[in-house]
Amino acid sequence: MRSPYPLRYGDTPSPLPRSSHFQSTLSLHKLRRFNSLVLVFRLAAFCFTLAASVFMLTNSRGPHYPRWFDFDAFRFVFAANAIVAIYSLFEMGVSVWEISKGTTVFPEILQVWFDFGHDQVFAYLLLSADSAGTELARTLKERDTCTVSNAFCVQSDISVALGFAGFLFLGFSSLLSGFRVVCFIINGSRFHV
């Protein structure tokens, strides 16, 4: 404990209390736990969007049946899910890097804004694609398309539903990256949870 009296020449200051080391270790554990949560959300977004794009890609039965690439909205669903899957794979690598190395890949200010901006853009892209896919699937059910090829419509519905699940987890990642931006703005140069 520090003395309440000022130091005189030749005196050595007393060491910092042990609680400051404990607090920095606690902050490090909180940061690691936060980054692990981000990694889990990014992994879930990757899995769902990859599955959605695979389900849409394999949704062709033959020349006399409808094919996914014949519909603009289903092409949009496939493209958006594939793009978000690639982005989520990249961000999973970034999260693993941050957890293992304790530092960001890019300079911290760039990394924080990169994550936040891209999470927002890709979440809106995915939401708009899956909304268009939902509307087309509903329209196809009103026509004879689903009576001719029920498997096509079911697989399209599954792809769109998986895309919405991917959007949900990307939205959670976006909330956490937004929280990280706010913490960065408040605390300055280092992110603290």
pLDDT tens string, the chain, 193 residues long: the values are 455 545 555 555 555 444 444 344 557 788 889 999 999 999 999 999 999 999 999 987 766 778 888 889 999 999 999 999 999 999 999 999 998 988 889 888 899 999 999 999 999 999 999 999 999 999 988 887 777 778 888 999 999 999 999 999 999 999 999 999 998 888 875 555 5
Distances (CA, A) of 58 to 37, 81, 173: 32, 14, 28
pLDDT of residue 132: 95
Structure tokens at 3: 């003395």
Cα 144 to Cα 10: distance, rounded to the nearest angstrom: 93
pLDDT of residue 22: 38
Let me know: does 45 contact 163? Beta carbons within 8 Å: no
pLDDT of residue 16: 47
pLDDT of residue 44: 97
pLDDT of residue 162: 97
pLDDT of residue 90: 96
CB under 8 A, 24+ apart: contacts of 29-33: 30/193, 31/191, 31/192, 31/193, 32/99, 33/193
Distances (CA, A) of 3 to 10, 12, 22: 15, 11, 21
Give the closest residue to 78 by CA, choosing from 2, 136, 143, 144.
136
> Hey, CA dihedral for 105, 111, 116, 119, is it positive or negative?
negative
pLDDT of residue 141: 86
pLDDT of residue 21: 43
pLDDT of residue 125: 96
